[in-house]
Amino acid sequence: MRTITYDSVELTTDQTVYDFFKDWDDVRGDRYNAEIEANLVRRILNNPYDASQSLLYDELLIPRSYNFFTEVKGPIITDSASPGDIDILGVDKNNPHLAIGIQVKRIKAWITEEDKAIVKANQIGKGVEQTRYMFKKYRFHKNYLMLVIVADTMYRRNDCQIFRNLSLDEKQDVYRHPALKELPEQAGVFTYEISQPSSNAVHLTGTLAAKVLKAAVPVEQESSTTESVIQFLRMQG
């Protein structure tokens, strides 16, 4: 997985040595896996660290000429049926016929005080259903299901915060979920993982990781979708 780990400390005038990825200076912050899905997506795309979006560009192999928009409805979404919106829309304004539609499903995870991992993968089926509808009704150039694993790993038994993450074995219910086989053959799927390894708020200390499990197969975008994308871009100014 492409992985980025970061930590922040407060600089003071009377200190010359600073420790990173340690617990002694952490302050209890909000737990990130409590965020609702829509806020989570916005935070990923508006993260103050450029690395957050870089993971998307680099892992999906798309140029920086693409811009990402969230919770996209009209004029692209034409009715209230599933999917109710496009969770993330990637568009190169010079190539509106090469848009990327992404449906997002949050997967809550945490480490208990007994160092046991709990991973709630029950929403994957719903994400697959929404991605299938998106592909059938709008047929973007590339169509993806994005599984956002949000893990509170503060209680992982390791003195160094860098290594307080979910193991590969602990995520097998995600990677091998049977519903993923029901995706359209051309649709891709990737994971975006956010680990909160300390009591700090996640904007101060965290680990970001992304991995494409199945690359989307480019298809010829529906002409009506391209027209709607062009209208959408005009509305953005």
**53-96 pLDDT tens trace:** 888 899 999 999 999 999 999 999 988 777 889 999 999 999 99
> What is the arithmetic mean of pLDDT over 21-42?
84
Among 223, 134, 125, smallest CA distance to 174 is for 125
- Nearest 5°: phi and psi at 24? -65, -30
Structural contact between residues 76 and 86, judged by C-beta atoms closer than 8 angstroms: yes
Among 97, 79, 100, 78, smallest CA distance to 89 is for 100
Structural contact between residues 129 and 71, judged by C-beta atoms closer than 8 angstroms: no
Q: d(Cα 218, Cα 142) in Å, to the nearest integer?
A: 5
Answer whether residue 51 shows pLDDT above 80.
no
Answer whether residue 23 shows pLDDT above 80.
yes
pTM of this structure: 0.92
Q: Give the max Cα distance, the chain.
A: 63
Q: d(Cα 140, Cα 43) in Å, to the nearest integer?
A: 24
> What is the arithmetic mean of pLDDT over 16-37?
84
- Nearest 5°: phi and psi at 7? -150, 155
Answer whether residue 216 shows pLDDT above 80.
yes
Percent of the chain residues past pLDDT 70, beyond the cut: 100
pLDDT greater at residue 78 or residue 171: 171
For residue 42, the number of C-alpha atoms closer than 13 Å in the C-beta half-sphere is: 7
* Tokens linked to 147: 């599984």
Beta-bridge mates of residue 212: 190
Quote the mean pLDDT of the chain: 92
Per-residue DSSP letter, 217 = P
pLDDT at 32: 83
Structural contact between residues 193 and 151, judged by C-beta atoms closer than 8 angstroms: yes
pLDDT at 181: 96
> What is the arithmetic mean of pLDDT over 143-160?
95
pLDDT greater at residue 164 or residue 78: 164
